[in-house]
Amino acid sequence: MDWDNARIFLAIQRAGTLRAAEQLQIDQATVGRRLAAMEKSLGARLFLRTPSGYVATPAGEQAVATIEKMEQAADQLQRQMQGIDERLCGVVRVASTDTMAKHVLMPAMQQLAAVHPNIRIVLTTSSQVSNLTRREADLAVRSVRPTSPDLISRHLKRLAAGLYASQAYLQQRGMPEPGNALTGHDVVVYQRAVSTSQIDALCGESIRNARVVMEVSSGLMLAEAVAAGLGIGELPTHVGDASPQLLRIWPQRVKAYDMWLVLHDDLNRTARVRAVADAIITAYDNLQVSDIFQALNPDRSVP
């Protein structure tokens, strides 16, 4: 079986349309021809073309399991070959959230580029967890430790989140009172599909009496919305404290969380991947975070 055709088949099955071509960086006409060639070689129809997209036939469903095994074997071979590569050059794919990329990874990549200019970083920022087994990324910075035995995780740092609002917002609305579920205040939170941690409370304070004025899909947009005066938000303290527009609300309220560096075991011995990993580890070691159990910037008060 032609692996290129099989790879295209999997992309269509996962996307449900010929738009899988965008992921494979080929045009839709080529995708259609490759699918037709595969169906002809197998003597079976693999998809039903419906108004809502491509739906796998019974033959197509059976093919998925077999072709996914081919994919896993191909990915494993590539990881193993990379694992013995000692060259400090080439591409390393890194996945992170946009907030972590801006505040930690960019300084790390700046230092890396100065030392290893032949390493090219492909950075993907998303709230979705990249699949390292399918090589969607070589390295990932996550707030959740993975459980897969094929993945190596290293604890980077314990961070904290606190409540913040803009100076303009607090001048207009006043400081909220603890224990009244943010009555009379507006809040900005994550969309439910991104995170469920802020549905009911922010840093342990219920938001049932607050008005949700905006739901966002990324940490960077959450920080921007709070800085714009739209409402109170839960932000990492190293982000909120760094913004002169923001003030910390109730410094005793903190929510601790951990950051992890994750990579596939097969890539642990690849020189360029290790170089990138070391740069990220150093950046987190150097990240200045106030004591999460103490009041942060107590001299910053509402004007």
Average pLDDT, whole number, for the chain? 85
Q: Is 154 left (phi over 0), alpha (psi -120 to 50) or beta?
A: beta
CA distance 206 to 181: 5
Tell me the DSSP string of 8-76. Answer: HHHHHHHHSSTTHHHHHTS-HHHHHHHHHHHHHHHTS--EEEETTEEEE-HHHHHHHHHHHHHHHHHHH
pLDDT (0 to 100) of residue 59: 86
- Top pLDDT among 291 and 52 is at 52
Q: At 79, is the pLDDT very low, low, confident or very high (cuts 50, 70, 90)?
A: low
Region 176-188 average pLDDT? 96
User: How many percent of the chain have pLDDT more than 90?
Assistant: 49
Residues 119-128 pLDDT 10s: 999 999 987 7
Locate the domains of the chain by residue range.
3-80, 90-154+260-286, 159-256
Beta-strand ranges (E) seen in 167-278 are 186-190, 201-202, 205-206, 211-216, 233-236, 246-249, 255-264
Residues 228-239 pLDDT 10s: 999 999 999 999
Whether 90-154+260-286 and 159-256 share one fold: the answer is yes
- Top pLDDT among 292 and 204 is at 204
CATH class of 3-80: mainly alpha
- Top pLDDT among 28 and 73 is at 28
The answer to whether the pTM exceeds 0.85 is: no
Structure tokens at 293: 């159990």
Q: Does domain 90-154+260-286 have CATH number 3.40.190.10?
A: yes
Q: At 257, is the pLDDT very low, low, confident or very high (cuts 50, 70, 90)?
A: very high
Q: Does domain 159-256 have CATH number 3.40.190.10?
A: yes
pLDDT (0 to 100) of residue 235: 96
Q: Which of 130, 136, 133 is nearest to 151 (CA)?
A: 133
Query: Between the CA of residue 192 and those of 119, 127, 206, 231, what are the distances in Å?
Result: 37, 12, 16, 18
Query: Between the CA of residue 282 and those of 94, 159, 278, 299, what are the distances in Å?
Result: 16, 15, 6, 30
- Top pLDDT among 83 and 77 is at 77
pLDDT (0 to 100) of residue 219: 93
pLDDT (0 to 100) of residue 297: 41
Report residue 43: phi and psi, to 5°. Answer: 65, 35
41 burial level (CB within 10 Å; 0-12, 13-18, 19+): exposed
pLDDT (0 to 100) of residue 189: 96
Res 111 pLDDT > 70: yes
pLDDT (0 to 100) of residue 216: 96
